[in-house]
Amino acid sequence: MNLPGSPFLQYRGEDLYLEDVRLADLATQHGTPLYVYSRNAMRAALAPYQQALEGRQHLICYAVKANSNLAVLQTFAQAGCGFDIVSAGELARVLAAGGQPGKVVFSGVGKTRDEMKLAMQAGVKCFNVESTAELEVLSDVASQNGLTARVSLRVNPDVDAGTHPYISTGLKGNKFGIAHELAVETYRRAAQLPGIEVVGIDCHIGSQITDVSPYLDALERVLDLVEAIESHGITLHHLDLGGGLGIRYTDETPPDARTLIGQLLARIDVRGHGHREVMFEPGRSLVGNAGVLLTEVMFLKPGEQKNFCVVDAAMNDLMRPALYEAYMGIVNTRQRRGETTTWDVVGPVCESGDWLGRDRDLNVQPGDVLAVLSAGAYGMTMASNYNSRGRAAELMVDGAQVHVIRARETVESLFAEERLI
C-alpha cells in the first residue's frame, strides 16, 4: 500500500510503522487520541527547498501555524530555518525553541500594538504589512518607542490559486494583503513614515496548491510592482514568495519543491532580479505528511443507510474534515484479512459534523487502532477543548527513539484558571 509519508510510514508485515516504531505499541503505551510525528520525514521534506536554493541568498521561514510544537520548531531551527509567525504567542514559541528573531517574519492582518512593540524589541527580520491602516499604526508604535520597524508589504496579486475558498488568500475578495493597484502608492507612503524601513515585498496566494502556474502568475505581477516601486527611488532587498505548496492527501500530485523553486528562480533571473534575497514560507509541505493521529475504535454501529465506526478522536482533536470537508486517509494500524465494510468514521462529540472520514472501506473491530494520515499540519494547532475534552498527547519519533513532546491534557487542567463565584 502506497501511503502518504512514505518511506517513513510503511507497513512491515501486517503492522504499520512510523520510522522504526510500531504505531499500535505507541497507542498501548501512551493512550489515544495520540499525535505522532516523524522527525526524519520533516527533515526530508525540507531538503528539496534547501537544495533548490543552494548558492542563492535566501531564507526558508517555516510557517509556525501549521504545527507549533516546540520540538517541531526546534527541528527546523537546528536545520537553519527562519520562521513565519502570526502572533506574539508564536514568536514566544520560536524563541523558546531556539529560533533566531532575526530570521522571523511577522505576518497576519490584525497585529496589535503590543505585538508590534514586542516583535520590534525582539528584533524580528521584518513585518509583512497587510494594510495601510496597519502601516500607520506600526509607524506610530515604532516612533513612540524609539524603534524601527523593517517592513515588506504583502501585495494581493488577485491570482486564483485553485484551492479551497477558506485557504485561498490571493484574490480581491480575500481579507489579506494590499490591493495590487494600491501597492506603489502605499510603498511611497511607507518610505515617508517615521520609524519605518522598507526592506522587501511579500506575496502569498493560498494553501494546498498543487500547480506551479499560480505561483508563476503571481511572481510576474510582483516583479512588475518591484520595477514600478524602485522607479520611485525605493529599494527592495528581498522577495518573499510565501508558501502554500500542497501535499498528497489522496490522489493529488503537487510539484516537488525543487521544480517549483527552480521555475520561480529562473523567471526571477530572466527578469533581472537574481541579486535579491528570496524567501519562502512553507508550512504544510514540511510537516503535513510527517504526522498521524492514532485513534481507537470504540463501537461499530451498522445502520440501514450508514454504517458508523465510532472512534475516540473527534472534531476537537482534528478540525480539518469538519471545517473544510477535507479528505484525510484512514487505515488500520494492523492489516486484517477478509472483506471490508464501508464506514463513516465518527467521533464522540455531540455534533453531526464530528466526522473524520466518510465512506471508508475498512476491516475493523472494536479495540483496533486506526491511523488518520497526513495529520502533521493543522491538526494539533487547530485542536480545542470542546465538550471539555483534553487535547491529545504528542510524540516525536526519530529512528527507533520516541520522545513525548507534549503530555496529554488532564480534565483538571481545563478549568484550572476558572473560579467559582
Cα–Cα distances (Å) from 216 to 157, 166, 181, 247, 416, in that order, read 11, 22, 19, 19, 50
Q: Is residue 209 packed enough to be buried (19+ CB in 10 Å), middle (13-18) or exposed (0-12)?
A: buried
Instruction: Tell me whether residue 165 is annotated as binding.
Output: no
Instruction: Tell me whether residue 244 is annotated as binding.
Output: yes
Which residues touch 176 (CB under 8 Å, ≥6 apart)? 109, 130, 154, 156, 169, 170, 204
**Alpha-carbon distance 244 to 207, whole Å?**
4
**Alpha-carbon distance 278 to 200, whole Å?**
10
Instruction: Tell me whether residue 35 is annotated as binding.
Output: no
Q: In angstroms, how far is the first alpha carbon of the chain from the final one?
A: 57
61 classed as catalytic:
no
From the candidates 81, 126, 309, 350, give the one annotated as an active-site residue. 350
Q: Is residue 194 packed enough to be buried (19+ CB in 10 Å), middle (13-18) or exposed (0-12)?
A: exposed
Taking alpha carbons only, the member of 290, 269, 308 closest to residue 377 is 290
Instruction: Tell me whether residue 378 is annotated as binding.
Output: yes
Instruction: Tell me whether residue 284 is annotated as binding.
Output: yes
Helix 257-270 / helix 39-52 crossing angle, nearest 10 deg: 20
Instruction: Tell me whether residue 283 is annotated as binding.
Output: yes
Cell triple for residue 386?
A: 470542546
Instruction: Tell me whether residue 320 is annotated as binding.
Output: yes
Which residues touch 344 (CB under 8 Å, ≥6 apart)? 306, 307, 308, 309, 355, 357, 358, 359, 360
Instruction: Tell me whether residue 221 is annotated as binding.
Output: no
Instruction: Tell me whether residue 194 is annotated as binding.
Output: no
Where residue 394 falls (left for φ over 0; alpha for ψ -120 to 50; beta otherwise) is beta
Taking alpha carbons only, the member of 279, 289, 326, 323 closest to residue 107 is 279
Binding site for substrate, by residue number, is 284, 320, 324, 351, 378
Binding residues for pyridoxal 5'-phosphate: 244, 281-284, 378
Residues contributing to the annotated binding site: 244, 281-284, 320, 324, 351, 378
Q: Which residues are known catalytic residues?
A: 350
